[in-house]
Structure 1
Amino acid sequence: MSGSAERDRLLDLVAEHVLAHGTSGQSLSGIARAVGSNNRMLLYYFGGKEDLLDEACQRAVRSFPAVAQALGHVHVEPDLCTGLGKAWLDITEPANLPFLRLFFERYGSALRDPAENAGYLDRMALTGWPTELADELLARGVEASGARRAGLEIVALWRGLQLALLAGADRDELTAVHDAAAGRLVRELAGRNTVAPQS
């Protein structure tokens, strides 16, 4: 087996492990035992425990295609509110709750040591989905600073409501809250004449 194939195999196993058992309290040696490997091999392929957990959480999303592909709705729907609403519904499908629990557990763990997890936190808070949404808004005619703020606001809205969902709030009620907030944001952008007319 090639080195890249073995790396992928180990990453798949670690992703399955953290989905089942979470990331809190996981030691590198414990992860290695769980996937039939050893510390040396995991360090060779992934550089360190935090990098391994980061990649494993990214790999885990492959088991939840509705999450991985959610932003596609924003790109293809002519109406921005409709696209945001469909993305929210995809992300919060009941089948996706195991991934959302893992995501927020990993996020919380990373916040305990921000220096060690700087790249991960930057991607979660400032780049990643916020940047992808900002790029879409730019393409729709929103000026750069407004697009950046709106991208951050949308992701903040989603994550806050996802936490409420995981805590037991009613999904239908949260969807109504989401749609109202997303509608206000889109109207605000349109009111500043920063959204291009929809085709």
Structure 2
Amino acid sequence: MTDTERADAPSSRERLLALVADVILEHGVADLSLSRIARLIGSNNRMLLYYFGSKEELLNQATLAAFERFPRINGMLGRLRGEGPGDALDPAARLLRAWADISHPDNLPFLALFFEAYGIALHLPSANRGYFTRIAEAWVPEVEQMLAGAGVPADAARLRAVQVVSTWRGLQFALLAGTPRDALDAAYAAMIADIVR
């Protein structure tokens, strides 16, 4: 690699990542080989491996890049923390708004990609350890912080945060499977009422 290529490396990596995010949002990840990805984005296997190390890490990073394109889901945590309109909302209202953000119809392509990528990653758990760590840690600290800020004791805030995030995952799955949105909204609202009581 030349000095010019080294200097350009971060932008080249980001450009490739954006192209792969385009591909996985359009085609999913199940039937994508590294060669097919390279062909679809006009690159080659060697370049993708240089920047990402493995197909698994490339897909993990591309999934995260795709996440950035869904502003309702991407901005949900800021709104949950009260960084914007409605900061004075009580914890129940914030949690209800978070589910409305996550389940918005605009986010369905990302939710489908998320579950597809997760299912594939389960077949190679050792190669996807970083992905599973990110998934396990995602959103829980923010929900915990919001609950603690609302006066929920630390141990209870952590437990309830895990409960809320786990419920979000299950509701997302049910939404994609065709469960009526109003039934999911009602079930979630009942659970949130119990949590913040």
2:182 is matched with: 172
Q: What corresponds to 1:36 in structure 2? A: 42
Give the % identical residues. Answer: 48
1:9: which partner in 2?
15
Q: Which amino acid aligns with 1:137?
A: L
Deviates more, 1:50-59 or 1:140-149: 140-149
* 1:117 and 2:128 matched: yes
Aligned match of 1:82 in 74, 87, 93? Answer: 93
Q: Aligned pairs, how many?
A: 186
Q: CA deviation at 1:48?
A: 0.9
RMSD: 1.4
**Cα deviation 1:19-67 (Å, max 9, x = unaligned):** 0111113211111111111111111111111111111011101221001
Report the Cα distance in structure 2 between the residues aligned to 1:154 and 1:67, rounded to whole angstroms: 15
* In 1, Cα distance between equivalents of 2:32 and 2:157: 38
Q: 1:146 Cα deviation (Å)? A: 1.9
Counterparts of residues 1-199 of structure 1 (less than 5 Å):
2-76=8-82, 77=87, 78-125=89-136, 127-187=137-197
**Are the counterparts in 2 of residues 70 and 87 from structure 1 also a CA contact under 8 Å?**
yes
CA distance in 1, matches of 2:130, 2:145: 20
Asked if the contact 2:91–2:150 (Cα under 8 Å) also holds between the matched residues in 1, the reply is: no
What is the rounded CA distance, in whole Å, between the counterparts of 1:174 and 1:58 in structure 2?
26
Query: What is the TM-score when the length of structure 2 is the normalising length?
Result: 0.89
Which consecutive unaligned segments of at least 5 residues does structure 2 have? none
Three-state SS of the structure 2 residue aligned to 1:25 is: coil
Superposed displacement of residue 138, structure 1: 2.8
Structure 1 residue runs of 4+, over 6 Å off?
A: none
Instruction: Give the conservation status (yes or no) of the 8 Å contact 1:73–1:84.
Output: no
* 1:8 Cα offset (Å): 0.8
Farther-moved stretch of structure 1 (139-148 vs 157-166): 139-148
Distance 1:116 1:140 in 2: 39
- Opposite residue 156 of structure 2, the aligned amino acid is G
Tell me what 1:193 maps to: none
Name the SS of the counterpart of 2:80 in structure 1.
helix
User: In structure 1, what residue type is equivalent to 2:28?
Assistant: G
SS in 1 for 2:21: helix
Q: CA contact under 8 A between 2:28 and 2:116: conserved in structure 1?
A: yes
What SS does structure 2 have at the residue aligned with 1:29? Answer: helix
Return the TM-score normalized by structure 1: 0.88
